[in-house]
A and B are shown apart, each in its own frame.
Chain A
C-alpha cells in the first residue's frame, strides 16, 4: 500500500533562518507531488507541484522553493524565513490509479 511521510510535525524557527521540510512517498512510482500551505482559518494554497524528477512548477511567487531530487522525494525550502511564512504545510501525492490527492500529516511552522 502507498504511504506518505512528512516531517517534522512541528517546527518553530526564528525569522531569517533557513527551512527544509521533507516529504517522501512509498509504494508507488512516478507520483505527482504537491506542496500546500494552509493558513489559520483559510483554505489550501497550492505552492508547488511536480510531475517528475527535477520538474517543479511554482504557483505563487514567494520566499520558498521546492526540489525533487528523487522520484518519491519532495523538499520545501527557504533560505531566510519571514514571519508571513508561518502556517500549516502539507505535502500530497496523486497517481495514475488513485482519485484525488493523498495528503501527509502536515508540518505546523511557526516563525518567531
Chain B
C-alpha cells in the first residue's frame, strides 16, 4: 500500500468555483500535514501546514485533516487563474530528521 495517494488530475474548474483537493495516507505515525503549491518550472512552496485534526484557514485556503480516516483536503474558495498550479500534499513525523513524504501532486487549471 502506498504511503500517500493523490489523484494526479488534471482538474479543470471555472474561475470563482470552490476547489477541493484530497489525499489519503496510510502511516499513523504522521504528525503534521502540509500542502505545497508548485507553479510550472518552479520549486514547490509551502502553502499550509497543520498538526491537528480539523480545519485551518488562511485567506481563501482551508486545510482540513481527518486523522481517524487518514484523509486530508485543501479547499480553495473563489478560485483565480493564478491558482493554476500543481498542489502536493505532504506528511511529516514529529522529529526534525524525519523525512517528509510527498504526494505526486494534482494539476489544477482554473479556467477564466
Contacts and interface: CB of A to CB of B under 8 A. Distances in A.
Q: Is the pairing of A and B real?
A: yes
Interface in A40-56: 41-44, 46, 49, 51
A16 B16 CA distance: 50
Given A43-B103, A100-B46, A94 B41 contact: no
B100 A43 contact: no
Where chain A touches its partner, the secondary structure class is strand
Where chain B touches its partner, the secondary structure class is loop
Given A43-B105, A44-B88, A103 B45 contact: yes
Contacts of B104: 42-44
A94 B96 contact: yes
B42 A102 contact: no
Contact of B42 (A99, A101, A106): A106
Interface residues of B, number: 22
B58 interface: no
Closest 5 pairs (CB-CB, A-B): A103-B43, A43-B104, A99-B49, A44-B102, A100-B46
Interface of B: 8, 32, 34, 36, 41-46, 49, 88, 90, 92, 96-97, 99-100, 102-105
11 contacts: A32-B96, A44-B44, A46-B99, A49-B99, A92-B43, A99-B92, A100-B100, A103-B43, A103-B45, A106-B42, A106-B43
Interface of A: 6, 32, 41-44, 46, 49, 51, 88, 90, 92, 94-96, 99-106, 108
